[in-house]
Structure 1
Amino acid sequence: MYLKGEEFAQLFARIWKHLCCFLEREKWRQIGFTNLGLLVRIGSKFANRYPAEFGADLGVYGCIPLLLEGLRKLKKYFNSETEMVLLRDIVTDLFGILHNSILKYSTNRGIYRKTRAVEDLTEYLKCGDTLINLQSLLILAYVVNESESSILATAEGGIAKLVELLKLAVNSEDHNHDYARFKTESATPRFSAFVLLDCLNHLGINDNNKREIEKQGGVPAIVRMLENDFSEEEHSVAARALWNLSFVESIRKSDLVRKTNKPLEKFLKSTNKNLQDASAYALWQIKGTSHGNITVRDDSPKDSSPAYEASIKQPKQHRPKTSQIMISYQWDSKPTATKLRDSLVNSGYRVWMDVTHMSGDILAAMAKAVEKSHIVLICMSEKYKNSQSCRTEAEYAYKLKKPVIPLLIEDSYQPDGWLGLLQGTKLYYNFSSDALMKTELPRLLTAIKECISSAKDETEGPAVTMTQHKGARSNGGATPSPASKSPASNWTGSDVHDWLKKNKLDDLCDLMVSYDGKHLEEMYKKYCEDRRNFEKDMKSDYQMNYRMYVEFAVALGKLFKDSS
């Protein structure tokens, strides 16, 4: 332990490369395999002591692919109980290192995604060892995307298992799970309530997973973690979990969650910035985005909460009526957002965006930015979609019926989940590279001008109207006027049936057996008029899950755009 994390990571990689040949079955009894096990055990202890620093260094010096390759080699031998017992210690230590490498340093996620980690670790979910199942699940929660997360949550009882362990940890004296059934001769990993809930928070990016956490009884355990006998770190992860889960209406409106207002309001006075932040946003979500009495200060550059301040730059040309534009972005996209801001300012617009993670009232600043803006530009990326802060502000803009123009800033990203639903059939502009930004900017400026010209009142902002702008990319088409006509309006019931089949919406065929084109046209009108109520009705009347609703809404929008 006299070595620094950076030095140990380099040494670890060098020794591993010399000893990894002993992972083959015929060499397990040799001294080299013993030494390899010792190296991994030391690495596991180092990772536990310095999780953030060592986790970062493991990524920098190429250790993560080496460890995953080791797990891949060992997995093929997990065919008998004897071999599993022989290899168990080294495998659990490898998992311990990998878990720490991503728990405190999420940037390593990209490395995992590029090295078949999802496929390899999913295989370990199927092995017969309970501890290894749990370890692989804890790592996968940080690596999977939203669609994979939905599968992972139900595979092998993923969420049910985590909630069960969380309940045990929360009710234990030291807030750690009782590992008696997992004990071996070597040191056994301890999974705390904090670690288990943090894992559930990552799986909870998917709204269906949020509902599964509720179904499995996870909410009472989370609320329990707000009580006085828990630490500020535990309070923070619990507040963040409530914020996350409260995007689902049934959870947000439950009596148990509504009773958390008092402890959350108390945490607003804490000196812990993370706890302040999480509590403020949780209250915002639970109270239905009523930010009147919520104040919280945050000046930490490490926090990715997208608060806003008025544009620091003023337009070069002073105009009597310049319009306010808000740029909503995830912190990693700051370079692109800044270039966009400068271009808009130079074109005579007033722009609101966060540039410094300023101190002050985050929620009031964000709310003011949305309320005062005439247009909201959303910088779409996977990290934006996965950010609770970004979702909070984007949905607030939607609630206030602000015109939203989506910008794609991550090459090849396809908006999914809540972001895909929010975008719906709106046009987007591709700003994923400097070259594309140069090409797309004039078209975006034209779109902004058209939105502003259709505004009823520049002070309060225009009503939501999205017109088709030449050159913009489409995610299923622009949202035309609800009164637009389409050949699909004249469809027969047979045509509707074939359309549902073509779009893989077979489950709706029986429910819409008597529907013709006029019915679809009426549904589309309701979709255009009020998407939130439309979504609620579809889920209630047609028993649509989240994924089915998104697919249906996109197909409906595409039908009436492409057919017109």
Structure 2
Amino acid sequence: SRFVLICMSSNYKKSTNCKAEAEYAFNRKSKIIPLIVEPQYKADGWLGFLAGSKIYVDFADKEGEELDKAFVSLIEELKRNGLNDTNGNKDNTLTDRTVSQIRSKSEEPKKEPEQPCVQTREYLNIPLASMWNEQHVQEFLNYHQLDQLLSICESMDGEALIEFHQSCETKPDIMYGLINNPKEHPLSFGIYFKFIAKLKKYLPQKPRPKIHFQYKFVYSPLNTTESATTDEKTNQAL
């Protein structure tokens, strides 16, 4: 190859294979273009000798526009080292078009980053699930990390969710078998029973049955001696 790109870093210098390849390219008098891929790396030893006074192209920690500019610098360095000399107009057209595309891309106006969708919690202001709409149901599931139920409860409002909850609570084995789809929508036992527990807070409280106490006083009958004594005292009093 006429051109060899050397990605200089500490690991590259330590590698025996990389050293052999670089020396092979040097002995064949290939055009060596050093690329820095490790932040603040300075070549020394055999790698420093091989790179010599060549112009480095810095790719370390480059992103976005900086990465595009590094590619432009690389192409220009290849052209400066004779990339267009052998293939004539074909290479010239290719490199010019590539540089133009990269430059135009880097000059494009930046798009404003999309603001992350803030999940509301309006359902917290509505004490009973029977008054929730579809959005409130989704908010409830998101807030309690019941993501596995989002698709199942997608079109449910509060009343439908309560019916679903009652079925899950009264017939847990049957309902779990119906809604658990291991291939497309797997549902863990933990999420299933967590849903049953968390929604109870938003269900109407059932009135507790009143307990009535009825007292019966039972008097033990007096024995004969006590009865006679009582009658005698009563007669004396009269």
Higher relative contact order (CA 8 A, sep 6+): 2
Superposition TM-score, scaled by structure 2 size:
0.34
Structure whose CA Rg is larger: 2
